[in-house]
Amino acid sequence: MIKIAFTGNPNVGKSALINAIAGSNLKVGNWAGVTVEKKEAEFEYKGEKIQCIDLPGVYSLSPYTLEETITRDFIINEKPDVIINIVDSTNLERNLYLTMLLKELEKPMIMALNFYDEFEKLNYKLDMKKFVDMIEMDVVMTSATKRTGVQELLDKALVIAKETKENKKYTLLFDKCLEEAIGEVKCKINCDEKLQKASEKFGLDFLAIKLLEQDKHLLEILKTEYKYEEDSGILKITKQLEDDHDEDIETIFAEGRYGTVKGILAKTFTTSIKSRLDFTDKVDRVLLNKYLGLPIFLLIIVGLMGTVFNGSAPLIDWVDGFVNDYIGKYVSMLIDENTPNWLASLVMDGILGGVGGVVVFVPLMLYLYFFLAILEESGYMSRVAFLMDKIMTKLGLNGKAFVPMVLGFGCTVPAIYATRTLEDESSRRLTAAMAPFMSCGARLPVYGLFTAAFFGAKAGMVVMSLYVLGIIVAILTGLVLKNFEMFKAEGRALLIELPPYRVPSLRVIIKSTLIRTGSYLKKATTIIMGMLMILWALTYFPNNGDTANSYMAKFGKTFQGVLKPTGFADRWETVAAIPPSLAAKEIVVGFMAQVLVGDKEAQDVEEEVNDATTFIEDTVGQLAGLGVAIKDSIVGVVSLDVKGLFSVPDEAEIEEEGSGVVAATKMLWTDELAPLRAYSFMVFILLVVPCVVTLGAIKQEFGYKFTGFIVGILLVVPYIVSTLVFQIGKLFF
Amino acid sequence: MKLTELKRGESAKIVKIGKIGELKKRLVDMGVTAGEIIKLERNAPLGDPQEFIVKSTNIAIRKQDAQNIEIEIDG
């Protein structure tokens, strides 16, 4: 098997190129233990088994960022047979810096000069023969969008991989005093048994340079794995260099590498009067304009919300109907009078309900990933960080975190997945910990029920206050958490590239949308289904569907004492409604209908299937429904109406869940503190674990341990806040 | 003078980057090295951060960090 590693700066068209090479074989996952996305593919090409690995986009191989250590460790430990270094040909000077660093690793390499079509349009000239000589590796001109040079690149990479079995030596072309220093350290390495052993793994050049640079990541490995103790002799050479240059050692080497790049380009490259930034400059004059920048950004966000939620809503309804009415109808035919009740309920409510619970999110995922990819690939996402930095940094967050936070008002699940767009691990974690407090759409029916029952005309204001409370709690949580190690953004200063705007390739965007949605289905289904089944079982047993006497009810009665300070727990029904609300918040309404009104009718009506239609009629009906849903979806995207996302269902809509539920809820509490108790309950529902799908998303992105931690926060915080609301509120009643 | 003193649209030569730890290394890796020409492209609408062009690359950093970069305007 031939292992090919793709490296390059961010924004050099790496994913488009890999897409063009690996096609449909690409898979996404995460690098072990971290949330950095890892793309890889295995396929056969000309009778050869090939493995492609996409290394994170990096500017350097320093030990300071996660992406850079991943790239570096992978190349050293996994020994790819060939490295494809993808270079933005319109910005050679900056890009070749990484090439110099890669050459120090002494691995077989080939260079892809990407965006070559743009290079030609700009009238830049490169003396290819000389360039190849000086850069010491094969060079292929590519354009992933036009799909030129792609096959040539792969063919040549394979040849290099097969030819070069040993490490490859490159000339590094540092200036004299650096060369001398490197030479001296090499001598020391050859005299030291431990270092000599290490040099077999790391390569002599790399080891010598990193020893001189006092690279903390490498020194750590040398200490633990090779029992190496720091050599004062090398330290002395470093010190001498620093004194001579009046600079720190890393900068000296960096300037050395830039010097080499400049030298090569001076002999091979001719620029023109055109600038690669002309177009970007024009666009940014508007998009980053002092007065227009923020309004346009808000418009884009409204557009994003509108598309993701309004666009997916009709399709979600269709998927829901498809699973429950269409598949449900034919599954239910398998159930006859001899089927025990529990088995029927397990199949219909447990399994089918679980499947439905997972797949209804697919349209949402598709829309989310599609538009996030457009924002990212076009280069606008970096501008979001630029525009919002001043506000978000106060919370210890990256400017880009604004996007997931806003998405949270629609649904927490896409908010969690959108944290992927943030650069560093701690920001991703912190954002994921805060996003669930943004009041999502599924909480609205609960607000609808309880405000209708207890607040009448003041309902609007009450709901508004809940949104505000959610934001405040999120901010406070963020301010507290950012002091903890796990969330500390390492006090990181902002340094981002605002890449040139490029029209994103539709092919790349569609593919990444499909891959990411697929990985949701693969990675999150098990845990979501599992949790939904448990919830079903707890509400069903032990009395065969009699919710009021289920384990859930028992749970409610047991925990009443613990939750007493919150004020709503004097009724077991509210406490018992909390666990089922984890399936989806709106379930609280149906649950109340069942336990308060004893109303099973509402549900039964839904389950009554129309036997009169035939299979073909049903199928045609579903397909027609899909057509309508797609049409409505497009209308939803275009309409840009996001008000609907925040509108509370009125009493009539709530009564559809079970007639009399509002009146029955009104009877929950009759004392003078009743509105306060209701408010405390809504606060609890606002802040408690949103739903199992959110947990599935957090698990997929951050792993089990972090999910457990978040669950803890999402139980403790609502408890504290509800208690505060009730206890303080009581003083004013 | 300090990089923050640069006016919009003005260019200057980078003289030295102060000791600002890890950020210095990242700046250098992105091409912000002594001797390079740096241009202030614009401030963010809220005033901070600032966008610069170095080595035909647009980068953004905060004012508090730009303060540690020393520049000189030729002639």
pLDDT digits (tens, 9 = 90+) for A157-194: 999 999 877 778 898 888 889 999 999 999 999 999 99
Query: What backbone phi and psi angles, to 5 degrees, belong to A106?
Result: 60, 40
CB A488, CB A425: distance < 8 Å:
no
Alpha helices in A322-423 (DSSP H): 328-333, 341-345, 353-359, 361-378, 380-392, 402-407, 412-418
List, in sequence order, every residue forming a beta bridge with B58; answer none if it has no partner: B53
- Closest-CA residue of B relative to A286 is B45
Cα distance between residue A217 and residue A224, in whole Å: 11
Q: What is the mean pLDDT of residues A428-450?
A: 92
- Closest-CA residue of B relative to A291 is B45
Helix A704-732, helix A459-481: angle, nearest 10: 130
Q: What is the mean pLDDT of residues A29-47?
A: 85
Looking at residue A610, its pLDDT comes to 58
Looking at residue A489, its pLDDT comes to 63
Q: Considering CB atoms only, which of A247, A251, A495 is closest to B30? A: A495
Q: How far A479 CA sits from the closest chain B CA (Å)? A: 21
Q: What is the mean pLDDT of residues A488-492?
A: 64
pLDDT score of A602 more than 70? no
Of the candidate ranges A12-16, A406-410, A544-548, the one whose mean pLDDT is the lowest: A544-548
* Residue numbers in B near A276 (CB within 8 A): 56
- Pick the closest to residue A404 from A431, A437, A441, A364 (CA basis): A431
Cα distance between residue A636 and residue A624, in whole Å: 18
Helix A704-732, helix A692-702: angle, nearest 10: 140
Looking at residue A25, its pLDDT comes to 84
Q: What is the mean pLDDT of residues A145-149?
A: 86
- Pick the closest to residue A401 from A414, A412, A388, A413 (CA basis): A388
For chain B, give the DSSP string.
Answer: -BGGGPPTT-EEEEEEE---THHHHHHHHTT--TT-EEEEEEE-TTS-SEEEEETTEEEEE-HHHHTTEEEE---
* Residue numbers in A near B27 (CB within 8 A): 495
User: What residues contact residue A650 under an 8 Å CB cut-off, 6+ apart?
Assistant: A448, A452
Chain B contact for A278, CB < 8 A? no
Of the candidate ranges A22-31, A63-72, A425-434, B35-44, the one whose mean pLDDT is the lowest: A22-31
DSSP tag of A59: S
Cα distance between residue A454 and residue A677, in whole Å: 10
Q: What is the mean pLDDT of residues A465-488?
A: 90
- Pick the closest to residue A587 from A364, A408, A349 (CA basis): A349
Handedness of CA A445, A449, A454, A459 (dihedral sign): positive
Looking at residue A606, its pLDDT comes to 45
Looking at residue A553, its pLDDT comes to 84
Q: Considering CB atoms only, which of A64, A258, A293 is closest to B45? A: A293
Q: Give percent of chain A above pLDDT 70.
A: 97
Residue A433 — pLDDT band, cuts 50, 70, 90?
Answer: very high
> CA torsion angle for B58, B60, B63, B64 (degrees, to 10)?
-130
Residue A603 — pLDDT band, cuts 50, 70, 90?
Answer: very low
Q: Taking CB atoms and an 8 Å limit, are B44 and A284 in contact across chains?
A: no
**pLDDT tens profile A693-708:** 999 999 988 999 999 9
Return the structure tokens found at A166.
Answer: 């040993």
Give the class (CATH, top level) of B3-72: mainly beta
- Pick the closest to residue A417 from A532, A546, A558, A524 (CA basis): A524
- Closest-CA residue of A relative to B65 is A493
Looking at residue B29, its pLDDT comes to 93
Chain B contact for A256, CB < 8 A? no
**pTM score:** 0.87
Of the candidate ranges A289-298, A329-338, B34-43, the one whose mean pLDDT is the lowest: A329-338
Q: Taking CB atoms and an 8 Å limit, are A91 and B56 in contact across chains?
A: yes
Looking at residue A490, its pLDDT comes to 56
* Residue numbers in B near A494 (CB within 8 A): 49, 60-62, 65
Q: Taking CB atoms and an 8 Å limit, are B51 and A258 in contact across chains?
A: no
* Residue numbers in B near A280 (CB within 8 A): 58
pLDDT higher at A288 or A524: A288
State chain A's mean pLDDT as an integer.
Answer: 89
Determine whether A719 is exposed, middle or buried from the number of CB atoms within 10 Å of its CB (0-12, 13-18, 19+): middle
Which B residues in the span 38-67 are in contact with A, Cβ-Cβ below 8 Å?
A: 41-49, 51, 53, 55-62, 65
CB A87, CB A81: distance < 8 Å:
no
- Pick the closest to residue B53 from A286, A278, A121 (CA basis): A278
* Residue numbers in B near A91 (CB within 8 A): 55-57
Q: How far B12 CA sits from the closest chain A CA (Å)? A: 19
Q: Considering CB atoms only, which of B28, B47, B51 is closest to A498? A: B51
Pick among A286, A291, A386 to test the B interface (most B CBs inside 10 A):
A386
Helix (H, G, I), strand (E, B) or coil at A141: strand
Q: What is the mean pLDDT of residues A64-68?
A: 85
Of the candidate ranges A25-39, A51-65, A142-156, A374-388, the one whose mean pLDDT is the lowest: A25-39
- Token look-up 């069942």 returns A594
Q: Taking CB atoms and an 8 Å limit, are A386 and B60 in contact across chains?
A: yes
Q: Taking CB atoms and an 8 Å limit, are A251 and B58 in contact across chains?
A: no
Calculate the CA A197 to chain-centre distance. 40
DSSP H or E run through A138: strand A138-141
